[in-house]
Structure 1
């Protein structure tokens, strides 16, 4: 049907297609290979729906325009000409003729402003619109870059629903590269609903175990390995998909299979040649006459080469800013003697060597002196003492029997290493008197025969709580309860590193940030190369709020001012969006603005003079901290020597943090009236004043718990002092007192005032409890008892006058005189 062999253009099929199109104007082509399709338009000026051209040379990507079967859908002018590896079947052509014109479907998509509830976040709808716009422009390779945990699968389901609903797609192939991801996608189609019906029941869905779609199939899930087998390696042509079988291919985790992330495929490389794997992966996408949509959190260079630059990007940083993903705490950098000093072997020393292929130990004599640093641990040199020391530290901080702390994912170097870590963790939990069940700590790797069952348990059940993996769980697996990441494997790939961190970014009730435990220097090795935000211009990402502010103030032209002001507002808005309710309340109080976003928006058109007047607020927001194949065997002893933590906004050492706090208090006492009142007239301090002080300090990285921890570490003294004591100590040099000592001193004076009745003692105990919670009552009795909720709801100052009579004001006055004397 409509087949034209333009032999005289044998060397240039693309040119021959142009000639074939011109030639076809003289003819009317009729359907001879399938049932006639009635009432389709006359596709002027050619009078034919489809045009083909070939020189008979098999398709080769390197000679794309001189090989293959070139095809053009003349009904749809925006439909790109493209080469096919084989001819359409009669059924392919019949189905194509039965489809509406693409321009009509594109208009229906554009007019459809209804998005399923399963993916109705603003950025998900923006991503869908970006893809649909690209489809309408005739693009056949489309890339979406969306951070891990932002709902790519749900977004894809919503997109597929809209494409099928508006008759832009008859059948869609959802391509993954692992069975576990195929199962996860199938479950998502069953679990997510449009209205009251699961998507899988609305559209006939074939899972990866079904080789061929039925005529009614609208969505088919397949692994790339299975599709490669059916397309290129099978002798059974009945199971071979045809080029026109799918209108769209959605490629999940589109970065997979390319050379930049080859470290992900340690197990696969034992069975597949990497270059062949990459070639076949791409060949699957190129085989079909279908628009390919790639989805990934971490685009590789090769990904962009195939799919083009992302039509939409939603970064990890932006998702954290918008409150959809978790930030991470400052990492726990676990340092041991061996990790600090390395492992040394001397020339002629006889050592044991482990042969992975034979699965046995061998004797080996060292040909020269050699020193292995921590990067080689668990790969080039197996060291159980190092791993035991790390496991001893981990069991001090993790508890598989307490689900409130979330789950833990440990990345090991090899399958054998994963076995060792599981064994050592169980032994060390036993040693500290916290034995765990056999399934509480588990290995899940590519060699786990029951990995799909274990992944499901890890996601949905209490146990396993701690899982050790190699590469199986680096990508695509959604377990929202993972709140701890442990690196025991050093990787050099940015993509792999970001995928590993991405396992813990999903929000989990009760956890405000996830933890990173790093005994092998992974975090430091990568921090210069990644910020989990590869789609944003690097220079802009690295600029701070204060840097953008300075650039705006120093701008010499209106265009420069506009650009830097835009960057400043964007930075402010991102930080504001990341605040939870408590943090937002702190910051609002600190800058005295009821609507932080509205205030930031007001700066979009601000003059330089206006920006200067807002310097205090901008500085406060800027500094607000938001919630960081053979191997030698070594038996050299090891132990943890230190676990470092950073304090404040700059991850400082304890003593430096305390010194910075002292300098800040001394420099700010004249700029912030409430701090001056606290230092010179603490009895006049109101709860509102104290809350503002706490908000300002928190914005600059100074928090009560951190100050207590830093004081304990720097001075070897554990004093649970409150923020008022820390401020007065920094400003006046007064001794630091615990909160209990301060309250006991004041209340002992009150208890000695009179022979109190039972009812009065009950109220005095309430006053003492409020002092321990709030550190102060207020400048006078009227303010204290009318402002503090527990007194206010029982009648406030008037009620207290009934209980204590004339002594009411004296009680508060005496407390204020003795709290911070």
Structure 2
């Protein structure tokens, strides 16, 4: 039967209302006992009949103004009309107050206004709110948006300045009723802590009912859960989880009494689709998954209606707001809060350019919240240029899945370029040359260390990671504990390896593909080695962010005993040119011809059903079918629920084949030969065919197996071409940066020379250096730490090491490093010279001059003079009172010194203070 456009709209609205728990009735047939929520069509008001009036427990609460679908872009124009109906007295009703809840809807697009808000503003909603929701809202004295106005002032105790600004501006955004807000904070500056603080205030002071904390990997969900468990607000002694219910979703069940739900966006999408989710889909970052251009839409879920959450916090939002996943966010009638360190233009656009916090990595480094980085480059011949294998050459070919090798003669020449390394061809010499150079250059990169700093190596694949681990253990001459793999597929539990990497001495080196590329904290990390290139600018920044975390001296020393200071910086070892390679603003999310097979399967597993994806996947599986062994075919059938690879290919093709769809429709609806299936029957038949395909790929085990089988073929091991080192050294850009650090340090000292005694002595009164004390130098050090943490003495020292040949060993502590640096800046030393070298040389000269005179020091006097020299080395200055403490007290203390040197003792101490620091 043909329907008018108006009737189609009414039917759609009626269906939406029924889904939301409303009973839609004509006035003359109203049954007020049918349920708590009754909707009456064409109810007369003083201002004319309203299309729909909503009643909860017999009390009118709202109206709906229905418009044709083509008028969707005019919905805001009719707001005055719907407001007129809401304000008009209802005929026969005792209630004569304006109705608070107003909708305009086409049955496809719907807008909603809550007139209880301070400045009522309509907003788009996925569907109508449930009767129970209005019942709850009517019992509240104020709406959520009005309660924002009563938020108490934020107490700054325990919060960084950047966190205070972010929370304050976010709450101002709420007060202005802005639906979306972006919090941009550098990695390591406490985004999660900031979000939890904000959530606590929203629950406690704004009366929020539920908050959804969205992540894109299971690992980040676990990390967020730990953050909530550890959080103690500054106005309560109880932890967050003692005050509020926090649930991390491990299934499709969402507890209605949980105030905070932590979920991967993949799981929330599957919940809204009413489908089960394989856990493996939560283990891969959204950076690693291509998404379908036309995803399956989420549908109304009565167990999780759009108003279920008041706020959604989207962690790492720069990768969670597009295509497939965007529907999850726009389903809920909630404020959206994005958290990211690396937004791009689309991120700003999605959040309506409402950036409530802009705190860059540079800001964080300047504030001492993050540490900066330096770049060390390793370039080898094969890394840069690739190599060739001659025809008839005997080579090993390796199965990537089993790592079993066989010897084979090449039929023709094989030339491989750098991008093919570790994919089609593995050259152990190339990996070995990089690792050996890393080993040999570590003393140059991290002077004074007796152990390898905590190091993370980024590999291209699991197979590449295995090769790297084997060679690292060989080249460093260490055992299994020294170097471990940390990926989702590691044989050993990745969580326990990661915990040990954070907190224990071993492992010193971890190799990963994607598990700790983004979002995972390992504070003791001081070295990142890139053995894979990265094309996405955001992804690269996230990977670099693994090294930016600060760590105190005591905590760093627990895992790296030879350190002499807190973590001041980290080093990027660039072994593939990742620093210089061209980066795109974001990973492309639309389908490309080069989309990996694994991504195609994941798209289908996550609900993608567009024709391009199905045809591409069928084509790839067809190619794979010609390569695999009978044993591999059998295993495929076992994992594909009894279907052979050829059957699966046919299923993929049939899902978009009009003849196959019509045939399925005839069979399912038992149509006669003469009858043609209608549009709905064709649609249902195609959905049935699509579901069959998606059931096949419903487990991550099949996806993982097929991906490994694909990669297990045609990997050549090149042991013929030996690699050669072309360059190893600090990146030129790093040298420019080092020069800037030195310049900033010199300017900082000059700016404060008149207010700090030690600086005034060095600059203007060098003859007074005998007066310099430990506390005077400590005053300079404290000033730097408070105002310019990026100019930490050991960091400036390393900058000098990149610019000039430093005289002497790296300093043992910050204080004596600072003395040497001040001497260099003030011109006492032509090159940076360690304080130890200066004092030892001056001591030799002073003793020689004294012994050249008429009176020479005895052996016992010399022993005391050496003790005084060592004390000045450690503490810059010696005073009379120091002689009563170690090591002098064990040799007789002040009395013994007086006995040895007599009345010249005090003058001798002054002379030594001046001469040794000269």
Other-structure match for 1:384: 428
Other-structure match for 2:162: 123
Other-structure match for 1:638: 723
Other-structure match for 2:490: 448
Cα shift at 1:245: 0.5
Other-structure match for 2:846: 746
Matched, 1:474 2:542: no
Is the CA contact 1:250–1:293 (under 8 Å) kept in the aligned structure 2?
yes
What CA deviation, in whole Å up to 9, does each residue of 1:230-277 have, x standing for no partner?
A: 10243999884111101111101101246xxxxxxxxxxxxxxxxxxx
Other-structure match for 2:210: 171
Is the CA contact 1:127–1:144 (under 8 Å) kept in the aligned structure 2?
yes
What CA deviation, in whole Å up to 9, does each residue of 1:105-127 have, x standing for no partner?
A: 11221x33336x5x622211110
1:422 alignment partner, SS class: helix
Kindly tell me: are residues 768 and 407 of structure 1, through their superposed partners in 2, closer, same or farther at Cα, counting changes over 3 Å?
Answer: closer
Is the CA contact 2:66–2:104 (under 8 Å) kept in the aligned structure 1?
no
Is the CA contact 1:43–1:74 (under 8 Å) kept in the aligned structure 2?
no
Cα shift at 1:491: 0.6
Other-structure match for 1:594: none
Cα shift at 1:203: 0.7
Cα shift at 1:182: 1.0
1:48 pairs with one of 51, 75, 99: 99
Matched, 1:95 2:136: yes
Cα shift at 1:393: 3.0
Matched, 1:487 2:572: no
Where in structure 2 are the equivalents of 1:450-599 lying within 5 Å? 450-510=493-553, 511-525=567-581
Kindly tell me: are residues 174 and 704 of structure 1, through their superposed partners in 2, closer, same or farther at Cα, counting changes over 3 Å?
Answer: closer
Is the CA contact 1:750–1:815 (under 8 Å) kept in the aligned structure 2?
no
Kindly tell me: are residues 813 and 354 of structure 1, through their superposed partners in 2, closer, same or farther at Cα, counting changes over 3 Å?
Answer: same
What is the RMSD computed on CA atoms of the aligned residues?
A: 5.2
What CA deviation, in whole Å up to 9, does each residue of 1:626-665 have, x standing for no partner?
A: xxx77654332124454213799845999xx99xxxxxxx
1:11 pairs with one of 66, 70, 85: 70
Is the CA contact 2:458–2:511 (under 8 Å) kept in the aligned structure 1?
yes
Cα shift at 1:23: 2.5
Cα shift at 1:423: 1.4
Cα shift at 1:333: 1.3
Cα shift at 1:756: 5.2
Is the CA contact 2:427–2:717 (under 8 Å) kept in the aligned structure 1?
yes
Aligned partners of 1:164 and 1:459: how far apart in 2?
Answer: 33
Aligned partners of 1:178 and 1:742: how far apart in 2?
Answer: 60
Aligned partners of 1:365 and 1:91: how far apart in 2?
Answer: 73
Aligned partners of 2:262 and 2:725: how far apart in 1?
Answer: 48
What CA deviation, in whole Å up to 9, does each residue of 1:660-706 have, x standing for no partner?
A: xxxxxxxxxxxxxx99x999x998865659999x9999999985995
Aligned partners of 2:499 and 2:844: how far apart in 1?
Answer: 54
Other-structure match for 2:266: 225
Aligned partners of 1:816 and 1:238: how far apart in 2?
Answer: 80
Where in structure 2 are the equivalents of 1:13-412 lying within 5 Å? 13=72, 15-16=74-75, 17-18=78-79, 19-28=81-90, 47-56=98-107, 67-76=108-117, 78=119, 80-99=121-140, 100-109=142-151, 111-114=152-155, 120-194=159-233, 195-209=236-250, 211-234=252-275, 240-257=303-320, 278-309=322-353, 310-328=355-373, 330-339=374-383, 341-344=385-388, 370=415, 372-373=417-418, 377-379=421-423, 381-396=425-440, 406-412=453-459
Kindly tell me: are residues 429 and 813 of structure 1, through their superposed partners in 2, closer, same or farther at Cα, counting changes over 3 Å?
Answer: closer
Is the CA contact 1:645–1:651 (under 8 Å) kept in the aligned structure 2?
no
Aligned partners of 1:183 and 1:7: how far apart in 2?
Answer: 45
Is the CA contact 2:398–2:405 (under 8 Å) kept in the aligned structure 1?
yes
Kindly tell me: are residues 72 and 408 of structure 1, through their superposed partners in 2, closer, same or farther at Cα, counting changes over 3 Å?
Answer: same
Is the CA contact 1:335–1:643 (under 8 Å) kept in the aligned structure 2?
yes
Other-structure match for 1:804: 901
Kindly tell me: are residues 800 and 768 of structure 1, through their superposed partners in 2, closer, same or farther at Cα, counting changes over 3 Å?
Answer: same
Is the CA contact 1:458–1:465 (under 8 Å) kept in the aligned structure 2?
yes
Cα shift at 1:708: 11
Is the CA contact 2:455–2:508 (under 8 Å) kept in the aligned structure 1?
yes
Kindly tell me: are residues 82 and 683 of structure 1, through their superposed partners in 2, closer, same or farther at Cα, counting changes over 3 Å?
Answer: closer
Cα shift at 1:226: 0.7
Query: Structure 2 unaligned runs (5+)?
Result: 1-38, 40-52, 55-62, 277-298, 554-566, 587-710, 743-757, 785-790, 809-816, 832-836
What CA deviation, in whole Å up to 9, does each residue of 1:418-469 have, x standing for no partner?
A: 1111111112222xxxx23x34421122323633443344334444332111
Cα shift at 1:496: 0.8
Aligned partners of 1:483 and 1:55: how far apart in 2?
Answer: 57
Other-structure match for 1:538: none
Aligned residues: 638
2:526 alignment partner, SS class: strand
What CA deviation, in whole Å up to 9, does each residue of 1:459-491 have, x standing for no partner?
A: 344443321111221211122122211111111
TM-score normalised by the chain length of structure 1: 0.65
Aligned partners of 1:816 and 1:203: how far apart in 2?
Answer: 62
Aligned partners of 1:192 and 1:774: how far apart in 2?
Answer: 41
Aligned partners of 2:794 and 2:526: how far apart in 1?
Answer: 26
Is the CA contact 1:230–1:240 (under 8 Å) kept in the aligned structure 2?
no
Matched, 1:422 2:485: no
Kindly tell me: are residues 378 and 789 of structure 1, through their superposed partners in 2, closer, same or farther at Cα, counting changes over 3 Å?
Answer: farther
Aligned partners of 1:339 and 1:7: how far apart in 2?
Answer: 65
Aligned partners of 1:222 and 1:97: how far apart in 2?
Answer: 30
2:488 alignment partner, SS class: coil
Is the CA contact 1:143–1:294 (under 8 Å) kept in the aligned structure 2?
yes
Aligned partners of 2:370 and 2:162: how far apart in 1?
Answer: 13
Where in structure 2 are the equivalents of 1:748-787 lying within 5 Å? 748-750=848-850, 754=855, 760-770=861-871
Aligned partners of 1:708 and 1:76: how far apart in 2?
Answer: 61
What CA deviation, in whole Å up to 9, does each residue of 1:290-328 have, x standing for no partner?
A: 111110000122222221322211111111111111122
Cα shift at 1:128: 0.7
Kindly tell me: are residues 243 and 364 of structure 1, through their superposed partners in 2, closer, same or farther at Cα, counting changes over 3 Å?
Answer: farther
Aligned partners of 1:480 and 1:30: how far apart in 2?
Answer: 69
1:293 alignment partner, SS class: strand
Cα shift at 1:156: 0.7
Kindly tell me: are residues 132 and 367 of structure 1, through their superposed partners in 2, closer, same or farther at Cα, counting changes over 3 Å?
Answer: farther
Query: Structure 1 unaligned runs (5+)?
Result: 37-41, 57-66, 259-277, 531-628, 659-673, 715-719, 732-736, 778-783
Aligned partners of 2:149 and 2:415: how far apart in 1?
Answer: 68
Aligned partners of 1:439 and 1:53: how far apart in 2?
Answer: 64
What CA deviation, in whole Å up to 9, does each residue of 1:341-384 have, x standing for no partner?
A: 543456898877767689887979698885624x6543464322
Is the CA contact 1:743–1:771 (under 8 Å) kept in the aligned structure 2?
no
Cα shift at 1:89: 2.7
Aligned partners of 2:339 and 2:92: how far apart in 1?
Answer: 40
Other-structure match for 2:460: 413
Aligned partners of 1:368 and 1:30: how far apart in 2?
Answer: 92
TM-score normalised by the chain length of structure 2: 0.59
Aligned partners of 1:372 and 1:528: how far apart in 2?
Answer: 22
**Larger displacement relative to structure 2 (802-811 or 288-297):** 802-811
